[in-house]
Amino acid sequence: MNYIETMIDGVWVIEPKVLGDARGYFMEAFKEEEFQEKVGHVHFIQDNESQSTYGVLRGLHYQQGADSQAKLVRVLKGRVIDVAVDLRRSSPTFGQYISVELSESNKRQLFIPRGFAHGFCVLSEEAIFLYKVDQPYAPQSEACIRFDDPTINVDWPLAPQEMVLSEKDKKGMLFSEAPCF
């Protein structure tokens, strides 16, 4: 696998080696020893999967405090723009974000450490999104920053009228109001 450091410390793009022929393809999606050597020790405890249709925007979500989650995300079917926002006050990139296209064709993965808000927007007819996490879901610690926060100013590829949002995501707080790490 190819591990690519991003402009935000701790966030990695991971490109697997894909072996393909007329029958299809094979790839290793995760190797714990190699991951720990390149990225660091993260003990993933759960795999999650979501299915969404075109225009669905999920995020920007995170869990606060000790319930914060590190995530390794990828797309099994379709295409998304995936976003991670640095919420670590001590970081030189505090309030900045990284945006990466993840798709079934590029097979890229994005590692997002603890201390980040995360979201994605579906650009294909359907997307199946997979992620590994190192902490269980803790609803009492959940927080949501608005997808259209003017301070973060994520450059989403769809116009707001094309986006499909949950009520929770529509009511997310502004970055200036968000509890950070």
Domain ranges of the chain: 45-177
Query: Would you state the pLDDT for residue 119?
Result: 98
What proportion of the chain, given as a percentage, has pLDDT over 90? 99
Query: Would you state the pLDDT for residue 128?
Result: 98
10 pLDDT band, cuts 50/70/90, is very high
Q: What is the pLDDT averaged over residues 106-125?
A: 98
Q: pTM of the full predicted structure?
A: 0.95
Query: Would you state the pLDDT for residue 167?
Result: 95
Q: What is the pLDDT averaged over residues 56-85?
A: 97
Q: Is 110 helix (H, G, I), strand (E, B) or coil?
A: strand
Query: Would you state the pLDDT for residue 107?
Result: 98
- Per-residue pLDDT tens for 153-167? 999 999 999 999 999
CA 54/CA 56 separation, integer angstroms: 6
Q: What is the pLDDT averaged over residues 24-33?
A: 95
Q: Please give the structure tokens belonging to residue 86.
A: 């640095």
Q: Which residues contact 26 (CB under 8 A, 6 or more apart)?
A: 18, 19, 20
Backbone angles phi, psi at 164, to 5 degrees: -110, 115
CATH fold of 45-177 reads Jelly Rolls (2.60.120)
Query: Would you state the pLDDT for residue 159?
Result: 94
- Any idea which residues carry the catalytic annotation? 61, 131
Q: What is the pLDDT averaged over residues 161-175?
A: 96
